[in-house]
């Protein structure tokens, strides 16, 4: 099967183009927040719709952080063209930056309202990986997030010549890395959702740190086949380095929660 991206423009309003990428991002964010709000309401009926009420602030700071992170990765370009930093329509958002911004914003909101931070992050983590699964299809319309050429060139993602990496101009069909990541993100969503409902001890933070581990593993291996990543250090993608750090944070977090749980059990005896 050959996947051929259609036009990246969905429609125009008074000659103002509306891009599929933006539409899909909006849909993924909308579904993600509905999911997170539903899960949180289920566990905390006394704090109903707390996530939805704070969604605009989380979205704004998440987007700003995503843009800032991307601009930092491409520092030389944006320091020479600073006005382009504000041009969000040109593209350039980083999921790692978005996560940092969203987590920091949620932390501040929770501290201000005296809400348990990890409880909110657990629900948001399940929703986030679902949103990531949906959002990856925005890359399809942009003809990006693709991997190495398919060897026999009989199937794959068609990339038009203008959007191909220079070294692979003679190939037209590439591994659809965006689709691989979308599939594994969706699988991660079902795994986290299953654990969410089966977590008998309801230890706050387990889902959040598991999400960090699962997503880090997915992104690390997907990056190994991608050839259009934003920035590399030698042969190592920046996203892989970030994934290793996120993985270690997830492991450390789970170990810390396990330690606290055991300590509490000892104190109860």
Give percent of the chain above pLDDT 70: 96
Residues 199-219, mean pLDDT to the nearest whole number: 90
pLDDT digits (tens, 9 = 90+) for 83-100: 877 777 666 788 899 999
pLDDT digits (tens, 9 = 90+) for 124-182: 999 999 999 999 999 999 999 999 999 999 999 999 998 998 889 999 999 999 999 99
Query: CB of 157 within 8 A of CB of 174?
Result: yes
pLDDT digits (tens, 9 = 90+) for 6-45: 988 999 998 889 999 999 999 999 999 999 999 999 888 8
Residues 242-264, mean pLDDT to the nearest whole number: 92
Terminal-residue alpha carbon distance, the chain: 61
pLDDT digits (tens, 9 = 90+) for 54-113: 999 999 999 999 988 888 877 777 888 788 777 776 667 888 999 999 999 999 999 999
Distance set, CA 216 to CA 162, 185, 213, 250 (Å): 31, 11, 5, 9
CA 48, distance to chain mean position in Å, is 25
DSSP 33-85: HHHHHHHHHHH-GGGTTHHHHHHHHHHHHHHHHHHHHHHHHTHHHHHHSGGGG
pLDDT at residue 269, as a whole number? 60
pLDDT at residue 110, as a whole number? 95
Bridge-based pairing state of the strands 156-158 and 2-3: parallel
Task: Read off the pTM.
Answer: 0.92
Burial class (CB in 10 A: 0-12, 13-18, 19+), 35: buried
């Amino acid at each position: 099967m050959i996947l051929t991206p259609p036009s990246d423009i969905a429609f125009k309003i008074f000659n103002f183009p509306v891009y599929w990428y933006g539409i899909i991002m909006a849909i993924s964010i909308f579904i993600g927040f509905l999911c997170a709000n539903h899960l949180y309401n289920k566990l905390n009926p006394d704090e109903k719709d707390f996530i939805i009420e704070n969604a605009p602030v989380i979205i704004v700071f998440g987007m700003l952080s995503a843009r800032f992170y991307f601009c930092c990765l491409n520092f030389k370009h944006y320091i020479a063209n600073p006005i382009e930093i504000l041009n969000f329509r040109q593209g350039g958002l980083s999921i790692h930056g978005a996560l940092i911004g969203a987590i920091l914003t949620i932390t501040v909101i929770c501290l201000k309202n005296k809400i348990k931070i990890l409880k909110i992050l657990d629900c948001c983590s399940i929703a986030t990986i679902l949103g990531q699964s949906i959002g990856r299809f925005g890359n399809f319309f942009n003809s990006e997030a693709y991997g190495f050429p398919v060897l026999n060139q009989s199937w794959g993602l068609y990339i038009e010549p203008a959007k191909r990496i220079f070294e692979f101009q003679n190939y037209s069909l590439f591994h659809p890395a965006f689709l691989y990541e979308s599939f594994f993100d969706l699988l991660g969503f079902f795994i986290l959702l299953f654990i969410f409902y089966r977590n008998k001890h309801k230890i706050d933070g387990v889902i959040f740190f598991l999400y960090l581990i699962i997503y880090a593993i997915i992104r690390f291996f997907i990056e190994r086949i991608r050839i259009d990543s934003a920035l590399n250090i030698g042969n190592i993608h920046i996203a892989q380095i970030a994934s290793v750090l996120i993985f270690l944070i997830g492991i450390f977090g789970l170990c810390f929660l396990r330690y606290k749980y055991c300590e509490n059990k000892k104190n109860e005896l």
